[in-house]
């Protein structure tokens, strides 16, 4: 990408963001809004820098939960998608379930998990992230393994290719972009799930705990500082997954779209 195009892509939203923050500051100052209603950006920023270590350690807790769930969910999802491809009956059993789960707020299961483990355990949250990531990866990768170009299958048959060769030389490479599309969807979802899981109780150490608890104590600027931390963590996860996807896109010209279910 040329410098000019980078500037064209970056400068307008940056200016908009700056104007937005300055406008926010002006409104808070101009109408003399009370900090418990809406703190000024300058107050949020100083709360953020004052509490940087606290925000960082809370972000590490939530980030670790999201990352562990993302990795385990992806591994299990990939493994299960191979089973689904191999056994049609399993596919017919699981696919409607995976789609139906999308219509159900399964996040509430975290309360059930919390009940199963000790109150100091991080397992319930990680389990919740794992479960949500699992279905996103499962549905997408299974689609990539199954939806192989018919011409490719006929060619492989004309080469008298073994089932193992068809798997390694056709189905798996075909599914690879679907995996990265799934990761792009799953990565931000994993972070959101980790935050929301913390709302349901358990250890009081993550971003999802400190945001409401600081609001409850009327320390609104500090709560907003944790919101900044949450935004940064979510962005980090998203950017890494977009980077991974763009690498595979570049080597193939284009990647297929993915489904969220």
CA 244, 254, 232, 259 torsion: positive or negative?
A: negative
Stretch that binds other proteins, among 1-9, 17-25, 155-163, 234-242 (CB under 8 A): 155-163
Site string for other proteins, 33-72 (x = CB under 8 A): ----------------------------------------
Give the position of tokens 């192989």: 148
CB nearer to other proteins: give 56 or 252.
Answer: 252
**149 near other proteins, judged by CB under 8 A:** yes
Q: Output the smallest distance, CB 158 to other proteins, in A.
A: 5
Q: Convert 56-121 into a string of H (helix), E (strand) and C (coil).
A: HHHHHHHHHHHHHHHHHHHHHHHHHHHHHHHCHHHHHHHHHHHHHHCCCCHHHHHHHHHHHCCCCC
Candidates 49, 204, 218, 251; binder of other proteins (CB under 8 A) is: 251
**2 near other proteins, judged by CB under 8 A:** no
Please tell me the distance from the alpha carbon of residue 153 to that of residue 160, in angstroms, as a whole number: 11
Q: How many residues bind other proteins (CB under 8 A)?
A: 19
**163 near other proteins, judged by CB under 8 A:** no
Site string for other proteins, 170-189 (x = CB under 8 A): x--x--x-------------
Q: Where are the beta strands (DSSP E) in the chain?
A: none
Give the position of tokens 């919390």: 114
Please tell me the distance from the alpha carbon of residue 184 to that of residue 142, in angstroms, as a whole number: 16
Q: What is the DSSP letter of 169?
A: I
Q: Output the smallest distance, CB 160 to other proteins, in A.
A: 5
Q: Which residues bind other proteins (CB under 8 A)?
A: 149, 151-152, 154-155, 157-161, 165, 169-170, 173, 176, 251-254
């Amino acid at each position: 990408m040329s410098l000019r195009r980078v500037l064209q892509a970056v400068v307008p939203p940056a200016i908009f963001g700056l104007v937005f923050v300055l406008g926010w500051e002006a409104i808070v100052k101009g109408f003399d809004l009370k900090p418990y209603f809406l703190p000024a950006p300058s107050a949020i920023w100083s709360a953020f820098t004052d509490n940087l270590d606290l925000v960082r350690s809370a972000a590490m807790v939530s980030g670790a939960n999201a990352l562990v769930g993302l990795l385990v969910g992806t591994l299990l999802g990939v493994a299960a998608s191979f089973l689904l491809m191999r056994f049609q009956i399993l596919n017919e059993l699981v696919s409607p379930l995976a789609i139906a789960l999308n219509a159900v707020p399964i996040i509430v299961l975290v309360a059930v998990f919390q009940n199963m483990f000790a109150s100091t355990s991080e397992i319930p949250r990680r389990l919740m992230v794992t479960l949500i990531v699992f279905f996103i990866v499962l549905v997408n990768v299974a689609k990539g393994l199954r939806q192989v170009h018919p011409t490719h299958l006929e060619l492989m048959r004309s080469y008298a290719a073994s089932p193992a060769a068809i798997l390694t030389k056709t189905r798996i490479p075909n599914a690879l972009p679907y995996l990265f599309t799934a990761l792009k969807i799953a990565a931000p979802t994993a972070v959101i799930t980790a935050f929301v899981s913390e709302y349901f109780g358990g250890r009081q150490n993550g971003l999802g705990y400190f945001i409401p608890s600081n609001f409850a104590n009327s320390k609104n600027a500090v709560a907003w500082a944790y919101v900044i931390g949450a935004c940064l963590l979510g962005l980090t996860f998203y950017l890494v997954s977009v980077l991974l996807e763009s690498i595979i896109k570049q080597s193939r010209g284009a990647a297929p779209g993915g489904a969220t279910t």
